[in-house]
Structure 1
């Protein structure tokens, strides 16, 4: 079997060669260096690959952070708008309601102290009142509607009357001085806002003083000199009243409209 012999001899040569290589430190060193170099190359290649991927990931994170910041800014901005919305809407709504109320009350008056009776005809009571107390002729056609206000049992309830024309209402209101000395009082049908404003203005006038002899200011405490000055101020503001359901005061023959307490500081007391 010559073929088998050749195979065996070949295997023997290989084994001999391997044995020789393993015994050669120099050759083993070279093989080790080659393997180490290949490993280093592979590691460096992997490092570069992951560095590129890491750089790409960092770019994506930066973009994500930028997007988050933008969304947070947008959210905060719109949150402020949303939080501010109810207040601004309420202010606008309140102003619109007050303006509408003001318009609908322009032709109305409230009469205080007018005796009431069971099953009374309030229109007839107003006609009689205007003729006897105001010397003004009023007919049923001039009255839009009228009724008593409130639920007071032990006191005479005020009588609210709405006229068909503002001119009729104004004529009666301008003649209210004829009631001076009686228990009868005529007032305009102010809105709730202006009723509160009138009260606040009158409360403030109790501590009113002046600055540099001309502009009104509110004083918590007054010197003896300013007490006398305050009396002059109050005397000038005795004409505080209403017209067309708005609040006015007259100083030195000049009429000032009072929309809020700040308007008091605009009044000039100089002659």
Structure 2
């Protein structure tokens, strides 16, 4: 009897297991269990991704803030410095004396104490005159020469062995800008030449522009600031002229190829509808 009962149970179980409803229910339970497991894994992964994205965004913001602070610190450290280009190089020259003589050519009587130090920039190259970077002891002394930079005359240093009339006409005194501000100033000057800006100049290491004569001067920190002022069309059409690289290098206003890269990268990003780093649309 026990054997018969066991056989009946097995047959009944086999019958139940073979029924469609049971098989379908079993499949549904397995599918549901697998789906729940996958959902738990996905939720954990999504939570981890969200956490990493938040961390990445925070890190990016801190990095951008650090870059801004480094840029501001670099600009601040350059406030007492000037670049003087166009002064011929001579063997055994004393650049401190040349800087003071340029000051005399501007009608200034700068003392040796007003100058901290000076030197030529870069390595000597045949046929190339390196600019002089001069760091003054005070911002006031530096500003005196910068304000008088357009008043250089050979008569004020008559008989000077280096600062002749032809040399004086080629000397250019400019602020010692950071690499980023050099590029921004290059872009601003190109826009001014195209009549998209009324004025573009630097003061205390910062680039400032005016769209019209009556406007208040605005400080420029990013290429986007220029685009906001002149409009997307004027900015998109901006391209450096072939003659500008030599002039920029001669005047110490920064390598034009860097500015060209800045323009091209910016225009490409704007055309793709991407927001430039550090600035939201």
TM bucket, shorter chain: 0.5 to 0.7
Residue 142 of structure 2 is matched in structure 1 by 169
- Partner SS for 1:145: strand
CA distance in 1: counterparts of 2:55 and 2:112, whole angstroms: 52
Relative to structure 1, the CA distance from residue 244 to residue 117 in structure 2 (aligned partners, 3 Å threshold; closer, same or farther) is same
Q: What TM-score, normalized to structure 2?
A: 0.59
Where does structure 2 lack aligned partners over 5 or more consecutive residues? Answer: 154-167, 231-281
RMSD of Structure 2 on Structure 1 (CA): 3.7
8 Å contact kept, 1:108–1:169: yes
CA distance in 2: counterparts of 1:253 and 1:63, whole angstroms: 64
Residue 191 of structure 1 is matched in structure 2 by 178
Residues 135-169 of structure 1: per-residue CA shift (max 9 Å, x gap): 22222222121101133331322110011211211
Q: CA deviation at 1:197?
A: 1.0
CA distance in 1: counterparts of 2:217 and 2:194, whole angstroms: 22
Larger radius of gyration: 1
8 Å contact kept, 1:148–1:159: yes
Where does structure 1 lack aligned partners over 5 or more consecutive residues? Answer: 1-30, 210-233
Match of 2:113 among 133, 136, 141: 141
- Partner SS for 1:254: coil
Farther-moved stretch of structure 1 (68-77 vs 175-184): 175-184
The 5 Å alignment of 1:1-271 reads 35=4, 39-41=7-9, 61=34, 63-78=36-51, 80=53, 88=61, 90-131=63-104, 133-150=105-122, 151-179=124-152, 182-208=169-195, 237=198, 239-250=199-210, 251-252=213-214, 254-264=216-226, 265-266=228-229
CA distance in 1: counterparts of 2:136 and 2:74, whole angstroms: 15
8 Å contact kept, 2:118–2:135: yes
Greater RCO between the two (CA within 8 Å, min separation 6)?
A: 2
* Number of residue pairs aligned between Structure 1 and Structure 2: 205
Q: What TM-score, normalized to structure 1?
A: 0.61
CA distance in 2: counterparts of 1:101 and 1:144, whole angstroms: 18
